[in-house]
Amino acid sequence: MRIKISAISLMASVSVAAQESKVEIVPAADVVSSYVWRGMYQTGFSIQPALTLSGGGFSIGAWGSTDLSTAGDETRSKEFDLTLGYAAGGFGLSVTDYWWSGEGARYGRYKTDHYFEGTVSYDFGEKCPLNLAWHTMFAGGDKDEDGKLQYSSYAEIGAHFNLMGVEVVPGIGISPWTGLYSNGFGLNEISLKATKQIKLGDSFSLPCYVKVIAAPEHDNVFLIMGVTL
């Protein structure tokens, strides 16, 4: 359940030439004030490391989240996701294996504890700063009470622009039918994220952001603060 949305990030990249493609290895570590995914609260203060290998349009990545607000508790929230993706131009395709069973749970229960999702997306680029994405779960634990796949789906539309030196990202997310996110059509998330570079010396700056989230489907609101290093 990634939020693709977080708070202190440590990133470094190592690039090498491989054949005619540029290969990048990118380790990262985020710390979030709270973890909200598609309008649904997951955990409080969390650390979220990631590792991505990409080249020639292809990428493979691992992403995780551990709840720090219940440190020492063997049942605390824990997530580990794997994603295989391909991007060309503005188009993107990916498949993700979500596992969020918690600390101490067995990883190998693929039919019940893993959720497999396919994603197709498109980014219109700088001339039209819009991006669209559709996500559908197609295997694993995404089942109804009768054990049938729900094909839980989530659609997103977002934008990105700069306003007086602040990067502004509004977004809307909906669930089109009954599934993991709602009992029918649901307006899951309306969000606005604002990021500003805070200078900490002549050669170092820290991107700080605040994200406001309204979740009408769950009658909830969230205010998240983050810092990216």
Q: For residue range 148-167, what is the model confidence (pLDDT) as tens digits?
A: 999 999 999 999 999 998 99
Any domain includes 57? yes
Predicted TM-score (pTM) of the model is 0.86
Any domain includes 1? no
Any domain includes 215? yes
HSE of 21, CA atoms in CB hemisphere, 13 A: 9
Any domain includes 197? yes
Higher model confidence: residue 78 or residue 62?
62
Any domain includes 219? yes
Q: Could you tell me which of 4, 10, 1, 13 has the C-alpha nearest to residue 28? A: 10
3-state DSSP percent of the chain in helix, strand and coil, to 5: 0, 65, 35
Any domain includes 2? no
Any domain includes 17? yes
Backbone angles phi, psi at 217, to 5 degrees: -60, -35
State the residue range of the domain holding 21.
Answer: 8-227
Q: Could you tell me which of 151, 74, 139, 84 has the C-alpha nearest to residue 112? A: 139
pLDDT digit string, tens, across residues 104-144: 889 999 999 999 999 999 999 888 999 999 999 999 999 99
Any domain includes 3? no
Q: How many domains does the chain have?
A: 1
189 pLDDT higher than 80: yes
